[in-house]
Amino acid sequence: MPLRPIDNALPTTTDDRPRKQSKVVLPATKQSERPLNDENQIPMQSSGDAAIDYIYSDDLKPISEPEARIQGLMEDLNSKNWLNVCQALNDVRRFALYHSSLLFPELGKVASVVAKTMKNPRSALCKTSIMAASDIFNSFGDKLLDPSTSDAFDSLLIQLLLKASQDKRFVCEEADKALTLMVASIAPLPLLLKLRAYVSHSNPRVRAKAAISVSNSVSNMGLEEMEEFGLGEMIKVAADLLNDRLPEAREAARSIANCIYGELTKDEEQKLEAWQNFCQSKLPAIHALSVFKTINP
């Protein structure tokens, strides 16, 4: 018996043009067809395609009715519909940039949800939450270290260090940007007090990322701030990192040592002698020699 033709066959196409890099297109599928743990699945049935745009901060616009929107912000951030969460995260960014006084009373709760969302395996959610953290740092800076938001900041910090340490490149790069903006937005001394615990983290990549942030913070400090933190403690951090397995951590250690050297010997005539005496007074002999040799006057 001859085979009957299929009437509803889908047309074929040879259009292989790549999609734009700024957009992640997520096709909807029936619930029964979705594989488990698929990070691109949409948690609802839909007849069309859903798109997530990664919007630069400069392209974000103010919210037309911010007083009304703030009332439902937390509910949308905790939504089970991840598309709603992405939209709410972008609204967090808009609040941070244009309506910060309305966001501040909710900042601790919002920052905690942003940190929690970074753990989501879905890349679109993860990256958008990191971008939200950047805008929060840019707008609130030192206010994130207030008692009401300090715990939320701790959660943001560890998640950013973890995301910057992972293999997914575009997430890693976004987390690196957020950490750089964090250092630029928060006073170095209180930030160092938060960061110093992570330079001895069990994950070597986290140690390296923390070391880079420490180095960048130290580069913004004068001698008085260094002494307030503790020059002995600071040079011990550098000495420990000099023996780290990752080159990024070792390079950060050399940068920290050079920053201390520059401030400590600024008014000294015999700079190397003063530096040698300092290293020997703060470190065991073998470590003192290693740190001393990092200097290239």
Domain hosting 163: range is 59-186
pLDDT at 35: 34
Q: Does residue 29 sit within a domain?
A: no
Instruction: Report the chain's mean pLDDT, rounded to a whole number.
Output: 86
More confident residue, 188 or 295: 188
pLDDT over 70 for what percent of the chain? 82
**Does residue 203 sit in helix, strand or coil?**
coil
**Residue 138 shares a structural domain with residue 115:** yes
**Residue 127 shares a structural domain with residue 198:** no
Q: Does residue 13 sit within a domain?
A: no
Comparing C-alpha atoms, which of 182, 195, 199 is closest to residue 132? 182
The tens digit of pLDDT for each residue in 244-254 reads 999 999 999 99
**Residue 180 shares a structural domain with residue 68:** yes
Q: Does residue 126 sit within a domain?
A: yes
**Residue 193 shares a structural domain with residue 180:** no
pLDDT over 90 for what percent of the chain? 78
Q: Does residue 101 sit within a domain?
A: yes
pLDDT at 98: 97
The tens digit of pLDDT for each residue in 13-70 reads 444 444 444 433 333 333 333 333 333 333 333 332 245 778 999 999 999 999 999 9
pLDDT greater than 90 at residue 78: yes
pLDDT greater than 60 at residue 233: yes
**Residue 252 shares a structural domain with residue 159:** no
pLDDT at 297: 65
Q: Among the three residues 125, 160, 186, which one is the final residue of a domain in this structure? A: 186
pLDDT greater than 50 at residue 218: yes
pLDDT at 217: 97
Q: Among the three residues 158, 186, 214, which one is the final residue of a domain in this structure? A: 186
When mean pLDDT is compared across 22-26, 50-54, 85-89, 213-217, the lowest value belongs to: 22-26
Please report, for residues 14, 73, 86, 285, 295, the alpha-carbon distance to residue 78 in angstroms, rounded to integers and kept in the order given. 41, 9, 11, 54, 51
More confident residue, 36 or 274: 274
Q: Does residue 201 sit within a domain?
A: yes
CA distance 88 to 114: 10
**Residue 165 shares a structural domain with residue 279:** no
Q: Does residue 135 sit within a domain?
A: yes
pLDDT-based confidence at 176, cuts 50/70/90?
A: very high
Is the four-CA dihedral 103, 171, 141, 231 of positive or negative sign? Answer: positive
**Residue 251 shares a structural domain with residue 160:** no
- The structure's pTM equals 0.81
pLDDT at 29: 33
pLDDT at 291: 96
**Residue 266 shares a structural domain with residue 297:** yes
Encoded amino acid at 11, one letter = P
For the chain, how big is the Rg over CA atoms in Å?
25
**Residue 79 shares a structural domain with residue 144:** yes
**Residue 135 shares a structural domain with residue 169:** yes
Residue 113, domain CATH: 1.25.10.10
More confident residue, 1 or 166: 166
**Residue 145 shares a structural domain with residue 247:** no
The pLDDT of 163-182, averaged and rounded, is 95
pLDDT at 42: 32
Q: Does residue 36 sit within a domain?
A: no
Q: What letter does residue 121 receive in the DSSP assignment?
A: S
**Residue 175 shares a structural domain with residue 118:** yes
Q: Does residue 51 sit within a domain?
A: no
Q: Among the three residues 152, 167, 186, which one is the final residue of a domain in this structure? A: 186
pLDDT greater than 60 at residue 71: yes
- Which residues touch 230 (CB under 8 Å, ≥6 apart)? none
pLDDT-based confidence at 87, cuts 50/70/90?
A: very high
Q: How many domains does the chain contain in total?
A: 2
pLDDT-based confidence at 159, cuts 50/70/90?
A: very high
